[in-house]
Amino acid sequence: MTDTPLSVSASSGGYLVHARPGVLDEVGAIVGSLTVGGAVAVVSDLTVRDLYAERVEGSLAGANLRVASLSVDPGERSKSWETAGRVLEWMSEAGIGRDDAVVALGGGVVGDLAGFCAATYMRGLMVAQVPTTLLAQVDSAIGGKTAVDLAGGKNLAGAFWPPAVVVADPECLATLPDTEWRSGLAEVVKSAVLDSDEAVRMLEADAPALAERRSDAVARAVRMAAGHKARVVSDDEREGGSRESLNYGHTLGHAIERVAGYGTVSHGIAVAEGIRFAASLAERLIGSDREWTARQDALLTACGLPRSGCALDPGRVIEAMRADKKSRGGQVRLVLSSAPGMWEVRAVDDATLADAVDAWCRPQEDGRRS
């Protein structure tokens, strides 16, 4: 496997994604080579701080950078306007200047929060994303979307603020709790489906090793999926076209999370259900093969993402799908895949949607879905 950094093109001039085992100890050298200021503000959460801050801060200090650090509570609740205000005030008190840098050390919550603060502090400061969850390494840290949540919904206040660099060490994933691991794995499967037959085959071969989090398989999966995201956002930085594909499995996935109640069904299981749903709808709407549906289902199961079997009210699921920010004029739009590496976006008419959601919500006798 190659260790060459992946590259992303962006209006900011582009950046590299260093995705390889052990690269966490090189954060200092990498950030030091990019910043002209002498200080870095490391933003993390309390869990990640205990696990990795010492190594990262040691590496930054070793590159002669003055380190100031702040950790927020773990979890989505920290992705708030209030926490962003606290981080910004702290940066000012810590004497962070316009030539200095922010290091976002953590999962997607820390990446979105610290990225948003970097975008606004002194009208924009360099940010290095150092993702420590699988979801963040293959998805949220790449692409420059930053945000905090408002009372009215997730990610309602945000900015496109591409990182100066992404440093993703797959070895950090060994300490991830199982639910967080699975959340990321659903994104990895999605990436392979959208990417190519080669990526799907690689994941099929690696699935048993991934279920045990074997380091070689984990590193391959991170590179494959991070590479896919890097290519997509290079092609479509502001989500005017191909970036929409990354929503594969998420329209139903988000609806499940919302209707079941956040935290009841994990993000990974919900997205996996969304992928299965989109796969079977693709047979009906774009004539994809039944084998392709079965292959996606088997891959998800082999990766430890079994069918959820949760019973939800079809009407509420449809309502939640219509409320998805990607739907237009109340009409649900779904990303559908006809074959590995092939996808298209389809508006789904009400009758077809009702029929498909109804079938999905009706558990079969063996606990499986139709």
Ligand X SMILES: NC(=O)c1ccc[n+]([C@@H]2O[C@H](COP(=O)([O-])OP(=O)(O)OC[C@H]3O[C@@H](n4cnc5c(N)ncnc54)[C@H](O)[C@@H]3O)[C@@H](O)[C@H]2O)c1
Give the nearer residue to ligand X in terms of CB position, either 55 or 346. 55
Separation of alpha carbons 226 and 284, rounded Å: 31
Give the nearer residue to ligand X in terms of CB position, either 32 or 108. 108
Check binding of 21 to ligand X (CB under 6 A).
Answer: no
Q: Are 136 and 107 in contact (CB under 8 A)?
A: yes
Applying CB under 6 A, the site for ligand X has a residue count of 29
Give residue for tokens 């975008």. 119
* DSSP class per residue in 93-152: HTT--TT-EEEEEESHHHHHHHHHHHHHGGG--EEEEEE-SHHIIIIITSS-EEEEEETT
Catalytic entry in 145, 182, 258, 276: 145
Separation of alpha carbons 285 and 215, rounded Å: 39
145 counts as catalytic: yes
254 counts as catalytic: yes
Give the nearer residue to ligand X in terms of CB position, either 15 or 292. 15
Catalytic entry in 190, 223, 229, 369: 229
Helices (H), the chain: 27-32, 46-48, 54-62, 81-93, 108-120, 134-135, 178-195, 197-211, 215-235, 250-260, 267-286, 290-302, 314-322, 350-361
Q: How far is the CB of 223 from ligand X (least distance, A)?
A: 17
Check binding of 108 to ligand X (CB under 6 A).
Answer: yes
Check binding of 76 to ligand X (CB under 6 A).
Answer: yes
Q: In degrees to the nearest 10, what's the CA dihedral of 193, 195, 197, 198?
A: -120
Near ligand X by CB under 6 A: residue from 28, 106, 227, 340: 106
Q: How far is the CB of 319 from ligand X (least distance, A)?
A: 21
The helix/strand/coil state of 213 is: coil
Q: How far is the CB of 267 from ligand X (least distance, A)?
A: 7
Separation of alpha carbons 58 and 321, rounded Å: 46
Site string for ligand X, 44-63 (x = CB under 6 A): -x-xx--x------------
Binders of ligand X in range 119-178 (CB under 6 A):
132-133, 135-136, 139-140, 143, 145, 154-155, 172, 175-176
Binders of ligand X in range 295-354 (CB under 6 A):
none
247 counts as catalytic: yes
Q: Is the dihedral of CA 45, 51, 54, 55 positive or negative?
A: negative
66 counts as catalytic: no
228 counts as catalytic: no
Check binding of 71 to ligand X (CB under 6 A).
Answer: no
Check binding of 112 to ligand X (CB under 6 A).
Answer: yes
Check binding of 237 to ligand X (CB under 6 A).
Answer: no
Near ligand X by CB under 6 A: residue from 37, 74, 306, 363: 74
**In terms of Cα–Cα distance, which of 4, 333, 19 is closest to 170?**
19
Per DSSP, 67 falls in state E
Residues forming contacts to ligand X in the complex (CB under 6 A) are 45, 47-48, 51, 74-76, 79, 106-110, 112, 132-133, 135-136, 139-140, 143, 145, 154-155, 172, 175-176, 180, 183
Active site residues: 123, 145, 187, 229, 239, 243, 247, 250, 254, 267
